[in-house]
Amino acid sequence: MPQFDTHAIIKLTSDPTFAEEVEDFLIDGEFILGSYSDIRDGVVFTNMRMISVDKQGLTASAVTYTSIPYAKVTTFAVSTPQLIGYTRILDLFVTEIGRLQFEFGRGTDVADLQRAIAEVALRVTPALFK
């Protein structure tokens, strides 16, 4: 994935090339909210899930795509900077993975990501309350 290390912050910078790479994986009604890189790997956030792109080997010719649906997110938080121009951190607690922290560079608005996660993660099935 970036390989998800639940003890590290994954530092991301905007990079549209990863969006192009996963376009064929999207389902009807799904659209890309942001595409980011972490050195040579990437993460694409859609309105339904997060797709990681893990480039492997010296030439990065082998690629693993991992999809994490927002329905697996149990808790999430956004930390905004105290000073203008500093980074924002998105914390996700994902079932069977643990805590994932993403740091976004200056100027990145994570409100759309938080809203998309909330729309999926906060859906309540009425059958659970009968």
CA distance 103 to 9: 6
Query: Mind giving me the DSSP string for 13-64?
Result: EE-THHHHHHGGGPPTT--EEEEEEETTEEEEEESSEEEEEEEESSS--EEE
* Domain coordinates in residue numbering, the chain: 9-116
Give the pLDDT confidence of 106-125 residue by residue, as tens digits.
Answer: 778 788 888 888 888 887 54
Express as a percent the part of the chain with pLDDT over 90: 48
Residues 6 or more apart whose CB falls under 8 angstroms from that of 28 comprise: none
> Residue 7 — pLDDT band, cuts 50, 70, 90?
low
Residue 130's pLDDT band, with cuts at 50, 70 and 90, is: very low
Res 128: pLDDT: 45
pLDDT digits (tens, 9 = 90+) for 34-65: 999 988 899 999 999 999 999 887 777 789 99
Report domain 9-116's class.
mainly beta
State yes or no: pLDDT of 8 exceeds 80. no
DSSP SS3 for 79:
strand
pTM assigned to the model: 0.83
pLDDT recorded at residue 3: 53
